[in-house]
Amino acid sequence: MKKTLLALALIGASTTAFADSWIYGGASVGQSDLNGKTSTSMTVHAGTGILPFIGVEAGYTDHGDFDIAANQELSASSVYFALKPSIDFGPLHVYARAGAHSWDKEINGSKIDDGIDLMYGFGAEYFIMGPFSVGASYNNYELDNDNIDSFTLNATFHFL
């Protein structure tokens, strides 16, 4: 019984060590929703774990192009910086994300608005081969009076 408990404790300690990798990076692709209009979104991100259960992450998101009227296409993008608390359950990595993002909105290529607002999200990843994980996430970006919701599929490589 003692050996079994010791083995479980060691497995638990080793899996939580992956909770926030020292350095990681990846990409996401999915769907963004702005006021009922949808578009394809793409994100690249990189981060680091500063404590066993919390990290910091930065990324760039192209929210896509939204048809808002005849011959009018609104495009939006964000650069974000967020805190990322996380925990591992074996190969399953569960996390949240909260921070600020600097955003731009354009209509037909002409900038119409920009600002800095809050963003948040959550997701889960599954380690499929060594340091490589795949998963899904939800993120919400505030843009003044608008919100962009993104549902994405992620691929991340954990370097250290």
160 or 32: which carries more pLDDT confidence? 32
CATH of the domain at 94: 2.40.160.20
Sheet strands (E) in the chain? 24-34, 37-51, 54-69, 72-89, 92-107, 110-129, 132-143, 146-158
Domain of 40 in residue numbering reads as 2-158
pLDDT tens for 135-157 read: 999 999 999 989 999 999 999 99
Lowest mean pLDDT among 5-19, 21-35, 41-55, 132-146: 5-19
Cα–Cα distance for residue pair 7/27, rounded to 1 Å: 35
Backbone angles phi, psi at 22, to 5 degrees: -60, -45
Total domains in the fold of the chain:
1
Alpha-carbon dihedral 44, 45, 46, 51, rounded to 10 degrees: -170
Q: Looking at residues 88-113, what average pLDDT do you find?
A: 95
Q: Looking at residues 115-130, what average pLDDT do you find?
A: 96
